[in-house]
Amino acid sequence: MLLNASGCLDALTAPEVVRQLDVFVTKTITPLPRQGNEPVRVAETDHGMLNSIGLANPGRERFLSEVLPRLRELGMPLWVSVGGFAADDYAETCAFLSDVTVELNLSCPNVEDATGTAIEIVAACRAVTDLPLYAKLSPAVWDVGEAARAVEAAGADGLSLVNTIRGLALDAGLRPVLGRAVGGYSGPALKPIALAAVFAAHRGTSLPIVGMGGVRSGRDVLELVAAGASAVALGTVLFSDPDAPARVRSEVEAELASLGVASLDDARGLSHEARAGVTTLD
């Protein structure tokens, strides 16, 4: 299953790209509208991209009344990314949603930290909705397996791994490029970090995992699945290659054929079989 990473694709301006995916994931929605962070908000680096968008969005009321009905016209499964600054913010938004999967953005690196832990937020949302809840975790935590087990115990139905990680770029005058200085780093350099997180989470829990981070090719998809992902999201690549979903699907088939593996389902977790007996990522 192929998805887009939240915030990397606008379905209403590029529906032809969205229809190449199996699922569309919205930008993160917060209770109140947000203008986002001061510019500069996006900067390229040698090996990826920094962004400091700051969860710019129209707010929950407009999303529910204007945006979500238009997204439903796409006729495909929808995941709504939910954010906030306290557990109640997340839970209140979840209570308004129906017929979607919820991705809880628990780890955005370019806004103020939410009050409360991921466990508290997941538990608050679980208390108000029966919708599937996927917890999007940060790659910055040392023990991803432990974090995965904790949110599973709190009521999460799945994991999204990983969000961007904090990064900084300086201009020729040695000043921060981004208006907010530090932003979320994504792109090819994030892939080994994502693989390590998915690998650890797969060993720590039986939850389904959406792997993301640095995915550019069918080989990248296959590696995340081999590490334990049951689905994969495309992120930064969509900015430069809107045909990436179709290309990646074709490349996945070629990779599977070259390895003599029948399907992605058969490839899931293969890296664990190859490393049987490994107990740490040291």
Which residues have a catalytic role annotated? 108
Residue 133 CA, distance from chain mean position: 13
Sheet order of strands, 158-161 included = 2-4, 231-234, 209-212, 158-161, 133-136, 101-105, 78-82, 24-25
The conformational region for residue 221 under phi > 0 = left, psi -120 to 50 = alpha, else beta, is: alpha
Structure tokens at 105: 């953005």
- Rounded Cα distance between 56 and 4, Å, is 18
Closest C-alpha to 51, from 61, 62, 37: 37
Give 5's contacts (C-beta < 8 A, 6+ positions apart): 25, 186, 212, 233, 234, 235, 236
Mapped onto helix, strand or coil, the DSSP state of residue 1 is coil
- Rounded Cα distance between 12 and 219, Å, is 29
DSSP 40: P
Alpha carbon dihedral 87, 198, 268, 26, in 10-degree steps, equals 40
> b/e for 258-272, b at 16 or more Cβ within 10 A?
eeebeebeebbbbbe
| Residue 223: how many other CB atoms lie within 10 Å | 24
Instruction: State the alpha helices, DSSP H only, in 135-235.
Output: 144-154, 191-204, 218-227
